[in-house]
Amino acid sequence: MADTTSKIYLEWSDIHECVRILCTKIFMDYPNIDSVMGLPRGGLIPAVMISHELGLPLELHPGKNTLVVDDINDTGHTLSKAPGAYWAVLHNKPTSKFKGAIYAKEVGEEWIVYPWEREDSEALPDYLREVEHLSDSHYIGGLTMPKGAKTSWWKKMNNNE
């Protein structure tokens, strides 16, 4: 069982180091990769960084030589359902059931908190959370919004304002 109490808080310098390591591996060992796609939510920022570093286009839909990026290969649940033939993550847990990812660093069972995440993030993967919170009118994408913010936005969209 994963350690859901210990957290490691990463800095942007840690992320840049992982991106450099990944880009070196990709450039040297996978020359046929021709584009990058990030898995929402954790893979989006690393995918953009890798795309810039390697000078490859960022895609919304993977082709046969697209690198699909996520932040971490924790249990393997997300990557096992991800499209594509090439996968990369910043961090890999050796206990993961998914074994095909290119990774920058191997980590232990601690919960990794990335600089783009909230510091008070729960040590629980998104896919294990209950779906009930989506019905909360002031919850959007993991962030608590002022009451009415989502409603006001939705009304504007529906009224074409």
Domain ranges for the chain, please list them.
7-129, 130-161
Span 10-31, average pLDDT? 97
| Residues, the chain | 161
Residue 119 binned pLDDT confidence (cut-offs 50, 70, 90) = confident
State yes or no: pLDDT of 61 exceeds 70: yes
Q: What is the mean pLDDT of residues 135-148?
A: 43
pLDDT of residue 10: 95
CA distances from 98 to 42, 75, 88 (A): 17, 7, 12
Cα–Cα distances (Å) from 121 to 29, 42, 57, 112, 138, in that order, read: 35, 13, 31, 10, 17
pLDDT class for 16, splitting at 50, 70, 90? very high
- Above 60 in pLDDT, residue 160? no
What integer best gives the mean pLDDT of the chain? 81
* Rounded average pLDDT over 30-58: 96
User: What's the fold here for domain 7-129?
Assistant: Rossmann fold (3.40.50)
Q: What is the mean pLDDT of residues 38-62?
A: 96
Is 47:36 a contact under the CB 8 Å cutoff?
A: yes
Q: Provide the whole-model pTM.
A: 0.73
Q: 54-63, 121-130, 133-142: which has the minimum mean pLDDT?
A: 133-142
Q: Indicate whether 133 pLDDT > 80.
A: no
